Structure 1
Amino acid sequence: MPSTLPALLLSGGAVIDLDGSLLIQLAIFFVAFELLRRLVFRPMIALFDAREAAIDGAKREARSLETEAEEKLKAFETEMKKVRAEAAADRDSIRQDAQRLERELLAKARVEADGMLGDATAKMQSDAAAIRADMKKTVPALAGQIAEKLLGRKAA
């Protein structure tokens, strides 16, 4: 009797015997299937579903946080524009105040300098007049002394 599978198929004999052991095997299969379904498959499917729900929830939360962050960034940028505009206005105001103060100080310094220059000019003119008057008194005596030295005698 051939023992190989093709030989058995060609011989016309039955490969599977249908007897009472088939019912026992089917019962064992269904009991094992039900036990595995209750103890392994359902908890695993529940675990997968829970993990999927957690992932979906985390994705939704990440999207909402991203949207919130974008809104906060836009609000921050808007506020920064506003603050920059205020700072520029303050800077311009301070610059204008500084320029006005500079003009005032320069005008005051010019007035003081003009006053000091006028005082100095008046003093120099009065000193020059006093020196000229003194020279008019001393020039004839000095001229006489120079003439005596040059001539070697007293001038008449």
Structure 2
Amino acid sequence: MATAPGTSLQMSSSDLIKRKPLDYGGFGEVYLCYHVTLGHVALKTVYTGPLRSEDSKRSLLEEGNIMASLNHERVVKLLGVIMEDSDCSLVMELLPRGNLLVVLKKVNVPMSVKGRIILEILDGMVYLTERSIVHKDIKPENILVDNDF
């Protein structure tokens, strides 16, 4: 569900109901949320504290527009951005199986499936590279797993 050109990515936190925390790390926290029109989504908090300037807002929205323009089955979809006082968050599609590290710890994955996982990761990376986008933090914790795993 990519955002159409010219459509605002800005969302309001009042449109979301936080259900439970899903993950945390150096970036902040990720929550399972319910959005009034989109249903279940992931809310990734990317910055807490007062917004520094209009340039900061503009920069986050520009980055959000780039992310929202991406449309590939191996790239998580950005649905919106929340920028309110001390809250800067990304509203993203929910991939309920979690990250690859958690899945690999729970399941004994055959070598053939590991090969498929690598190819699917490369497929997404090639898509990004063709658009001059560099993912600077590839690791199992940052690779989300869909229900087809």
Q: TM-score, normalised by structure 1?
A: 0.15
- Highest RCO, 1 vs 2 (Cα 8 Å, sep ≥ 6): 2
Q: TM-score, normalised by structure 2?
A: 0.16
More helix as a share of residues: 1
More strand as a share of residues: 2
